[in-house]
Amino acid sequence: MRIAIDAMGGDLGPRATVRGAAGAALQDSRLTLQLFGPRACLEREIASLPRRLAAAGSRMEVVDAPGEIAPGVRPSDALRHGGDSSMALMLDCLASGRACAGVSGGNTGALMALGRRAMGTVGGIPRPAISTAIPTREQGRCYLLDLGANIEASSDRLVDFARMGEVMARHVDGLSRPRIALLNVGAEGIKGTASVRQADARLRELPGLNYCGYVEGDGIFAGSVDVVVCDGFVGNAVLKASEGLARMLVARVQATFEAHWGSRLVGLLARPALRRLRGELDPVRYNGASLLGLAGIVVKSHGGSDADGFRYAVLRAVQEVEHDLPRQLARELGEARMDSISRVGATGGDDRQ
């Protein structure tokens, strides 16, 4: 199983991505990795892998990519000038079938734009959505989408997101009937924007979908649904606010124990529990957002991820490969869309913008 890695994406540079990729390769012996970036730089990183990761070096191949997509570059500029970048060449490798998934920690907008150009979308999806799993109560997880690829979303797009999330949760996570919800400002039917209310009406009628209606923001973490759908502006704001709040709370937990557990004994006793706690709250364990709807598997690693986070993103890509996610999406969404088109033909209504 060959995974293509944009080794230059991410704020921490190629050391984090190369080490993270190496960690994933050690964890899964099927993997071989193609690393895209300036050859000399990446070969140096591979040569200086720490001892515990060094064995993965033999399964890592460098593909020279002199260019780089800067974090602030507009998608249109990335399309125009980014052809020799590690991100674009990684995606080309994926599009040509030489790798079965790609991972990048770089500029999301550029990744989306270059990914669409290189591969296109499946199942009639006009534009991919970004989704990531979020930890919930009872050690569960919930997919939230969209996270920023579509800052405004018509009811049609919200329905697409629900369908894609459902397919992902069913195939990748093995849930037989994933519970799908729409994010809204109240649980009552009268609330929300027109597109949310229209999407609600359409989701209620979709055959085979385990649609649970509206949830409010706290419903994302309640563990009572498996997929929560919203437009990309809302999803992005909610995800980043959650990251910020979790960081603040973990810092406060730590400060509380440092302030009040003066005694050496108690401090020592508390340390392992606090370490475990930090681990459980760690967003790194949930790193790796899927570009759902693309005709290929691309996982976006959080820009600020360290090697450990990047490793999770690579392993997320592996999971999607194992379940052949784009093919499932193409098959199921293609069918759904045919149904929908015939229904629209019969009723004459479609709110696509």
Q: Which residues bind a second copy (CB under 8 A)?
A: 72, 74, 135-137, 148, 151-152, 183, 185-186, 188, 190-193, 216-222, 230, 232-234, 236-249, 251-253, 256-257, 260-261, 266, 269-270, 272-273, 276-277, 280-281
Shortest spacing between CB 227 and a second copy, in angstroms = 15
Give the integer Cα–Cα distance in Å for 156 and 153. 8
Give the integer Cα–Cα distance in Å for 30 and 59. 10
Q: Decide if 22 contacts 60 (C-beta within 8 A).
A: yes
> 3-class DSSP state for residue 72?
coil
Shortest spacing between CB 229 and a second copy, in angstroms = 12
* CB nearer a second copy, residue 238 or residue 297: 238
* CB nearer a second copy, residue 147 or residue 317: 147
Characterize the bridge pairing of strands 227-229 and 140-145: parallel
The DSSP annotation for 270-307 comes to HHHHHHHHHHHH-GGGG--EEEETBSS-EEEPPTT--H
Q: How far is CA 242 from the centre of its chain?
A: 15
Shortest spacing between CB 189 and a second copy, in angstroms = 10
> 3-class DSSP state for residue 324?
coil
Shortest spacing between CB 247 and a second copy, in angstroms = 7
* CB nearer a second copy, residue 57 or residue 304: 304
Q: Residue 199 has which token pair?
A: 């999407």
Shortest spacing between CB 11 and a second copy, in angstroms = 13
* CB nearer a second copy, residue 185 or residue 201: 185
* CB nearer a second copy, residue 268 or residue 341: 268
